[in-house]
Amino acid sequence: MRPETAGSDGIIDLWLFDLEPPLPYVHDLERLLSGDERTRAAAFVFDADRNRYIAGRGRLREILAHYLGLPPQDIRFTYNEYGKPGLDAGLHGVLHFNLSHSAGLALLAVSDRYSLGADIEQVAPLKEDVAAYCFSDAERRDLAALSQDEYLDGFYRCWTRKEAFVKAHGEGLSLPLQSFDVSIGTEAAPLLKRLDSDPSGLRNWKLFNLALAPGFAGALAVLTGGRNSRLQWRSLEELYAVSRASSM
């Protein structure tokens, strides 16, 4: 999806980028932030966390500016009552996005058609039984059926799909994690299998399992209303090439 063809074919753009660029780039990205973002950045205790935040927000502004045809500094964000970020539609029109990050990587999904949610997680050994209080009965049964070698990957498939759906739904953790089921397998088309708040609306949602960097799991949830959609991976190199061409 490029600015001149936004909305064609129900394309959803995906951007995967590094949150630990060289320090000079972090300083450049910090200049793009708003005053409140800089205040939040300054509140981080550790430099690594502060720099990752700056890189994430700066890259987000750069990428969204690419679609909107605006300087990154001019983008204005809004937040719904549950804290989900969006764009000021009065200034920017309708453009849906969702940003997720884990360790040193960030995943951004962008669509001008569909509400969506993205989640990326670094796969690491579990220190507690998270599934016992975050997953539904059906999901826990599915996990219990996996072998010990399969369990960790199955857990992160389930976790990222649930997190992506919660973010796409837009009500944050006011939506109980046990009130819906997702599939946990390696199937090409993951499923939303149950949704207590809208039992007849399952067909309106589409889940995607994302192949990311080694050691990371990712998922995307999209409110398509049953319409066609497809994914397109984008890169910062492409973004900067377009920027250089437009400035010549």
Residue 32: both structure tokens together: 């793009």
In this prediction, residue 81 has a pLDDT band, given cuts at 50, 70 and 90, of confident
4, pLDDT greater than 70: no
- With beta carbons less than 8 A apart as the criterion, state whether 107 and 100 touch: yes
Question: Is the Cβ–Cβ distance between 134 and 242 less than 8 Å?
Answer: no
DSSP letter at 5? G
Alpha helices in the chain (DSSP H): 23-30, 35-42, 47-68, 89-92, 131-134, 137-144, 148-169, 236-247
Tens of pLDDT, residue by residue over 58-79, are 999 999 999 999 999 999 998 8
Query: Helix 23-30 and helix 47-68: axis angle, to 10°?
Result: 60
Q: Which domains does the chain have, with CATH numbers?
A: 1-113+229-243 (3.90.470.20), 115-226 (3.90.470.20)
pLDDT at position 3: 44
Q: Is the pLDDT of residue 114 over 90?
A: yes
| Percentage above 90 pLDDT, the chain | 78
Q: What are the tens digits of pLDDT across the range 196-243?
A: 999 989 999 999 999 999 999 999 999 999 998 999 999 988 877 666
Predicted pLDDT at 5: 40
Per the structure block, which two tokens stand in for 9? 């074919």
For the chain, the residue count is 248
Place 245 in a pLDDT band, splitting at 50, 70 and 90. Answer: low
Q: What is the pTM of this model?
A: 0.92
